[in-house]
Structure 1
Amino acid sequence: MDILEHNRIAWNKNVDTGIEWTKPVSKEVIDRARNGEWEMLLTPTRPVPRAWFPPLNGLRVLCLASGGGQQGPVLAAAGADVTVFDYSEKQLEQDRYVAERDGLTINTVRGDMANLACFADGSFDFIVHPTSNVFAESIIPVWKEAARVLRDGGILLSGFVNPLVYIFDVEAEERGVLEVKHTIPYSDAADLPEERLAAHIREGAALEFGHSLQDQLKGQTDAGFVIADFYEDGYGGKSLLDRYISTFMATKAVKLKL
């Protein structure tokens, strides 16, 4: 099956049903950002440290696989020159909605996070990549493309899922039992029980991929980044694993100067 196309349709459906990650920020949030009072999420609950951000005024920012009217509008209101890139046209519509509502300038581009051929080398100073590479079959091309379109010395902020989330049997976990079943890397398309996968496809649920920490971290350093900072986050108690370990993490990476 065409995973990319399936997940595009799934995220369009998510916009229609109004899940958390598709809800645009409010006008009040934008007004505060214009006054220098803002925060942004890469993971479910913990705001990104303000020290991770350079001065935003005029900064060329790429919000990578980051549609939904959340990160992009806040950064634009804070003074950045923002491009939001996403494969779901309805997620991009959320950013355009906030831009029109609040008088912001935001460039929206539809495309695959692993293929940024529409952008020239060094087009951006700063990239924001929230927890979205869980929907990419391979993340190595994502890091390589991010490095290519970022200028030397530019910054990449990324959030991602702890791969331990995917080692457990999903049906047992729904019953409150943590039963180790899968290996990492994990793929819904390959590892879900046949009936469960068929239901996912029938219902239009997005398919996920549990990438190894080597691909998440060394994938960045191999692409030319130095990881400068790191933090962990949970899922606000929504995951059974939250009581045992942080289920999300985020990195600040700097592209090496040649």
Structure 2
Amino acid sequence: MFGTRFGNLHRSSPVRCVCSARSTRIASFDSSSDRQRDGHQVDIQVRREWQEGAFAFPVPFPAGSRNPIVSTDEADGRVAASRTSEPFGRHDRVPRRIRTMSAVDPDHLRTIRAVAAGVDDIARQLHLPAPQTVAELDRLIETACAGSDDEGLGSLAVAVGFRLGEMLCRGAGARWVGLREPVPPRIELAGRIASPIELVQRRLETGDPPTLAEAVAALMTASDETFVDRAMAIERNRIAWDRLSNDPRFAAETIPELTREQAVAGLDPWLRDERLDGKRLLLLGGAGGTHAALYAMAGAIVTVVDLSPSQLERDRSQADRLGISLRSFVASADALTMIESESIDIVVQPVLTSYLPDVTTAYREVHRVLRTGGSYVSQHKMPEALRAVWNPQRERYELDRRTVLPSIGDEGKGTISPLREPETIEFAHSLGTLLGELCRVGFVIEGFHEPLRSDVWAPCGSIAHLADTLPPYCRIKARRLGCAAQTPTAMAHRRIT
């Protein structure tokens, strides 16, 4: 399906990379006809064979060269990397006409794989076996550097970088990300982001450590430390929240009986606007005796789903005492199989997503159970605040680099963020994930709010003290669109075609 060939890597014959959804080739070309006056150029040409038109990715140039800014020729869909007056990495402006690779379009991933496969041809030209391991990629780089000068190495970095990324995708479960950014594509592995192309480029330019094998070994070690099995994390958090069922911060002994008007007055303004009377409301992860009873007294038909049986028992006790009706289920928010599709008008979710390894699955379940036009009000721990730890010696907050935060007993409270519950496992999902995945599964965001928690006089290391530096929480109000395929991105694609 793909045709790929590589010319030699010497100055007399620079390298051109020609890509399309159906074919990719890297071929030598004559320098007399294709060299720009200001130096070596790498062109990327892409046929308009996908619904948004031409795409491109930035190609890293050798040290000292200029930044390739990619522009689109509207006439024929050709995309060419041209020079700018700013060094690479210092020019942040991207022309409006740029159209970049889509993170979900399979044609672009096929293009990456086609370029990566071309490394076999390079190896044959260098009289080496086709590289199957990272160590063999290291050997290929060393051999190529010995026989080439700098100007031919830019496209080699792209090809070998893509091959390295593909090895990690297939062998370690990594995935390509950042395909819409004005930087070379990255891979994500267990929450860590790495740039294979720039790693190869640095190796080609300087030859300094780490080798590709050393860099990959360090990344794999870090990913092993952050890997957590979903079932194990869910069970650990269930046990932790059962133990917290007697903590007054998360559970109420009793709440007073209220009239409907009093209950409505006690609602969050976003929920007041939804007029709960007669609405089918799903409360996710909010058991403990307070929220469910309040919503029911405000007129909602309430269903509660929580991981903790002990917390749910408090809701049932409150309901029996107050004479109100509600349904309750022990389940994780990313597995709502007991709730029928499009059977809910409003989903309310207190802080929950940080206890789930994958927010996308939970968002999809919420989207499934909500009717079209239904609202989703959620609160989340902000990722930076969740990883911030007070250092009393330096008198400042420092960030834990990990995105998977392990369970720590009560004795370790001072070594974790004040937002954390010591015995839980938590996941510091980025704000881009919390917002972006919400839109991607079929919601439109109507409101975003950072609740006020700051107090400059609060004790150092407390939530209120942390809030003076970083907002600890965010609240999001979103509304379900017609179906997952009706996302704004998908609708924009249809308008283009």
TM-score interval w.r.t. the shorter chain? Answer: 0.7 to 0.9
Shift of 1:208: 1.7
- Tell me the residue number matched to 2:424: 206
Shift of 1:82: 0.2
- Tell me the residue number matched to 1:232: 450
Structure 2 Cα separation of the partners of residues 174 and 110 of structure 1: 44
Note the alpha carbon deviations across 1:180-229, whole angstroms, 9 max, x for none: 3415xx11139x8xx959x99xx971222211112110111111100011
Q: CA separation of 1:247/1:171 partners in 2, compared to 1, >3 Å: closer, same or farther?
A: closer
Q: Secondary structure at the match of 1:9?
A: helix
Shift of 1:105: 0.5
* Mapping of residues 67-216 of structure 1, within 5 Å: 67-168=287-388, 170=389, 172=391, 176-182=395-401, 186-189=403-406, 205-216=423-434
Answer yes or no: is the 8 Å Cα contact 2:263–2:295 preserved in 1: no
Q: CA separation of 1:175/1:4 partners in 2, compared to 1, >3 Å: closer, same or farther?
A: farther
- Tell me the residue number matched to 2:440: 222
Counterpart of 1:15, as a letter, is S
Q: Secondary structure at the match of 2:288?
A: coil
* Mapping of residues 44-59 of structure 1, within 5 Å: 48-50=268-270, 53-59=273-279
Shift of 1:5: 0.8
Q: CA separation of 1:245/1:179 partners in 2, compared to 1, >3 Å: closer, same or farther?
A: closer
**Does 233-242 or 210-219 show the bigger shift?**
233-242
Alignment match of 2:479 (pick from 235, 251, 254): 254
- Tell me the residue number matched to 1:44: none
Q: Secondary structure at the match of 2:275?
A: coil
Q: CA separation of 1:4/1:181 partners in 2, compared to 1, >3 Å: closer, same or farther?
A: closer
Structure 1 Cα separation of the partners of residues 386 and 299 of structure 2: 38
Q: CA separation of 1:19/1:172 partners in 2, compared to 1, >3 Å: closer, same or farther?
A: farther
Shift of 1:52: 5.7
- Tell me the residue number matched to 2:215: none
Q: CA separation of 1:175/1:93 partners in 2, compared to 1, >3 Å: closer, same or farther?
A: farther
Counterpart of 2:471, as a letter, is S
Counterpart of 2:250, as a letter, is W
Structure 2 Cα separation of the partners of residues 25 and 175 of structure 1: 43
- Normalised by the length of structure 1, the TM-score is 0.83
Answer yes or no: is the 8 Å Cα contact 1:22–1:94 preserved in 2: yes
Structure 1 Cα separation of the partners of residues 338 and 393 of structure 2: 42
Structure 1 Cα separation of the partners of residues 302 and 395 of structure 2: 42
Q: Is 1:242–2:472 an aligned residue pair?
A: no
Counterpart of 2:444, as a letter, is V
Note the alpha carbon deviations across 1:91-111, whole angstroms, 9 max, x for none: 101110110111110111110
Shift of 1:50: 4.4
Q: Is 1:38–2:257 an aligned residue pair?
A: no
Note the alpha carbon deviations across 1:70-95, whole angstroms, 9 max, x for none: 21110100110000100100110111
Q: Which has the higher contact order (CA 8 A, sep 6+)?
A: 1
Pick the structure with greater CA Rg: 2
Answer yes or no: is the 8 Å Cα contact 2:282–2:348 preserved in 1: yes
Q: Percent identity?
A: 28
Q: Secondary structure at the match of 2:364?
A: helix
Counterpart of 2:477, as a letter, is K
- Tell me the residue number matched to 2:233: 3
Aligned length: 240
Q: CA separation of 1:156/1:133 partners in 2, compared to 1, >3 Å: closer, same or farther?
A: same
**Does 130-139 or 86-95 show the bigger shift?**
130-139
Answer yes or no: is the 8 Å Cα contact 1:60–1:82 preserved in 2: yes
Structure 2 Cα separation of the partners of residues 82 and 155 of structure 1: 15
Answer yes or no: is the 8 Å Cα contact 1:52–1:252 preserved in 2: no
- Tell me the residue number matched to 1:45: none
Answer yes or no: is the 8 Å Cα contact 1:124–1:154 preserved in 2: yes
Counterpart of 2:447, as a letter, is D
Q: Secondary structure at the match of 1:160?
A: strand
Answer yes or no: is the 8 Å Cα contact 1:159–1:249 preserved in 2: yes
Structure 2 Cα separation of the partners of residues 79 and 63 of structure 1: 14
Counterpart of 1:189, as a letter, is P
Answer yes or no: is the 8 Å Cα contact 2:263–2:294 preserved in 1: no
Structure 2 Cα separation of the partners of residues 129 and 174 of structure 1: 37
Structure 2 gaps of 5+ residues are 1-228, 456-461, 484-497
Superposition RMSD in Å: 2.8
Answer yes or no: is the 8 Å Cα contact 1:38–1:74 preserved in 2: no
Shift of 1:39: 2.5
Shift of 1:248: 0.7
- Normalised by the length of structure 2, the TM-score is 0.45
Q: CA separation of 1:174/1:60 partners in 2, compared to 1, >3 Å: closer, same or farther?
A: farther
- Tell me the residue number matched to 2:283: 63
